[in-house]
Amino acid sequence: MKLLDKHIENLYSDFLLFVEATKYREEENFYTSNYNNIIELSYNENPFGASPKAMEALTYFKDYINLYPPVGYTLLRSTIATGLEINESEIVIGNGSLGIINSAIRLFAEKGDNVVFSKSSIPMYKWAIMSNGSIPVIIPLQGDYNHNLQGLLNAINDKTKVIIVDNPHNPTGLYIEPKTILDFIKKIPETIFVIIDQAYIEYADDYINEAIIKSFNQFPNLLITRTFSKVHALAGLRVGYGISNKKLIEKLWAENLGNVGGVSLLSSFVANAAMKDSIHVHECISKNKTCIDELKEQFKRFYETVLNSSANFICVKTESSKIFLNQIPSNIKVTSGVTFGYDELTRMSMKFVN
């Protein structure tokens, strides 16, 4: 019990550090038209906002927040299935993609089991693993800052139960082509659960014909996760979805039975409207590409290495992210590489100005 208490204490300390670093978001005056003079470039939020259809749904369904949400989220699952040309039974809805990843870790890893993933700026991977009593095995990136897929494979042992690959990768924005990812998955024993986190996939080239979506049923141990937080600009509503074969999806739904209503009524119906607004999605993708290309050109004037991002943020290699942060005003919030083990990297998203 004392060991468990210490473990929880360490996790809570991590949480408090995270809260302290982002305390400017705890006050209501941050959520105003000028964000209390904060220029927020650290959260990778969509600066173009939610779609008009999503906002219409938000306005309509706000009058029904006294009601519990649907249990099976059938309408949202049907819309996603139609868009991806898959079956509703191959989709699970969750509290953001991270909520689904958390459920998958609980389902497939036990206390003392290993969960393997690359160095990342997403603390929630580690927190989900540790809160489950499992052990995070973190693999350094390659020299080019992309995933070391062979390193992930080399880490497999008899305690390995889950492998997570975020693609595009956060914080670098680097994208591994689907064929390479599929070849990687084929090398993993079917007894190990594989999660491909595609939070930023819409920003990658030709995402509609993304090959993993066309091939997921070939793998009994594969889960793909996506979110409405990024290109759909619904980060505040916390809704995401997982894609897998029917058998695995049934297990994930069962794991979530104790959390019925984990996605709110507003979240589910607004996400459904956002998913249908393909025009807004393509506009966000196009504007994002324009901004990223411009940022690359600007940064290349000052820094030798600007990573080729396929996401809605950019990552640059500097002498030191600590020095970089000291050179910019304190109200500009970016992500220091110190937080994920690479002091020379600094990640930043964009703030769109008309």
Annotate 71-99 with b (16+ C-beta within 10 A) or e (fewer): eebeebbebbbeebebebebbbbbbbbbb
pTM above 0.85, yes or no: yes
pLDDT at 308 over 80: yes
Which pLDDT score is estimated for 197?
A: 96
User: Would you state the CATH architecture of domain 2-50+278-349?
Assistant: Alpha-Beta Complex (3.90)
Return the pLDDT at 11.
83
Quick one: pLDDT band at residue 13, thresholds 50, 70, 90?
Answer: confident
Residue 90 in this model has a pLDDT that exceeds 70? yes
Dig out the tokens for 60 from the structure: 């309509």
Question: Structure tokens of 94?
Answer: 């969750």
For tokens 């408090």, name the residue. 16
Residue 288, helix vs strand vs coil: helix
Q: Residue 33: its pLDDT value, please?
A: 87
Which pLDDT score, from 0 to 100, does residue 259 have?
A: 59
Average pLDDT over residues 108-135: 93
Query: Chain-centre distance of CA 277, in angstroms?
Result: 21
Q: Could you say which DSSP state residue 304 is in?
A: S
In whole angstroms, what is the distance from residue 110 CA to residue 159 CA?
Answer: 10
- What pLDDT, on the 0 to 100 scale, is given for residue 154? 98
Average pLDDT score, the chain: 91
* Nearest CA among 292, 142, 277 for reference residue 204: 292
**Per-residue model confidence as pLDDT tens digits over 232-281:** 999 999 999 999 999 999 999 988 766 555 899 999 999 999 999 999 99
- 52-276, CATH topology level: Aspartate Aminotransferase; domain 2 (3.40.640)
pLDDT of residue 88: 96
- Where does the pLDDT of residue 183 fall: very low under 50, low under 70, confident under 90, or very high at 90 and above? very high
> What are the extents of the domains in the chain?
2-50+278-349, 52-276
User: What is the pLDDT at residue 207?
Assistant: 63
User: Which tokens is 98 given?
Assistant: 């991270």
Is residue 130 within 8 Å of residue 283, measured between CB atoms? Answer: no
- Residue 101 gets the label, from left (phi > 0), alpha (psi -120 to 50) or beta, of alpha
pLDDT(6) > 90: no
Residue 238, sorted as left (phi over 0), alpha (psi -120 to 50) or beta, turns out to be left
pLDDT for 1: 47
Contact between 198 and 225 (Cβ < 8 Å) = yes
How many C-beta atoms surround the C-beta of residue 262 within 10 A?
18
pLDDT (0 to 100) of residue 302: 85
